[in-house]
Structure 1
Amino acid sequence: MKRRVTTYEEIKRLLCMGELRALRNFGKGIKERLSPPRKLEWLQFEKIDEFLEITVQPIHRENEIIVPKHGSHSLRSVAERIRENGYTFERLASEPSLDEQLHKPKWFRPCVPVAENFDVSRLSPIVVTDLKNEHQSLDPGSTYTLSHGDGSHRSLVYAVRLLRGRERFAPVEAIYFTPREI
């Protein structure tokens, strides 16, 4: 994995230039989320296994059907659950008949247009932070977790496409920032 230290100013400049426009939530709260003294780095996940070990954060009663509390949260495991259960993003986004305690179609709706128009060459950077200690026992090989709303849906679609053999892996860029607790 490649790493390069960056600054708040560089990220802000790229956002203003529109180069990071796909980072929907990242752009809205950039000052609050990245204000100094947070450590910022550019990462490049150069191997498929590095990318698939990134974890997805479970969201209570929204995505637990694929990101269970007591199972692995790695992109690989989540994508395998989708594949093994025969789910499509269209089905997850529209069928309230799936377990309502673990699933809200609304969480999956952003995945549908991403899946329909997926182009790995247009995959913009995702945002990752450190995996919290309480989740490391579920995913001992993981170091990073996706930040809410900053690439979770795109990363999940990409992981599913990779495991279904619909894509060849291309390196994924990410912006890493230290969590507030550090």
Structure 2
Amino acid sequence: MATENKNLSQHDLNDLPDCSGLRVGVVFSEWNDEITHALRDGAIEVLKSQNLSDHNIVVKSVPGSFELPLGAQFLCEHDTVDAVVCVGSVIRGETSHFEYVCQGVAHGIKDVSLKYNKPVIFGVLTDDNIEQSRARAGGKHGNKGIEAAVAALKMVALQMDLSQSNY
């Protein structure tokens, strides 16, 4: 998560497990493509750095951020993925549309994750203006796509660890 004057996208990728056997989906919004393409590319960069092959990274686009949960659900239903990273960008406008979209996307992504018992990660920027979005899509606050991919891999590792333990 990006915080003022702090770049939280700088993770020690050596702390992540070997992911060569995993299959991860990345669903990104076509709306605000300057931002979402940077987020998508950041997520893919992390996945590749952790030994995921191009074949095991499934990248799909949806028209807007509101469609991200259904795109993630389609991947969970029709593709063998261990996790899905959802990236999008919603920028506040002059109407209450912003609140409805942001709440719907957040709840939808959470619901898909719980329904399929898989990490489905919320990597959606919810900014007041384009400058804030740029700062969080590779600017001074890092890249939320990187953070979302790291979160996905850490959650898969947790799930695998718990499934192999004798608790």
What TM-score, normalized to structure 1? 0.26
Point out the structure with max Rg over C-alpha.
1
- Higher strand residue share: 2
What TM-score, normalized to structure 2? 0.27
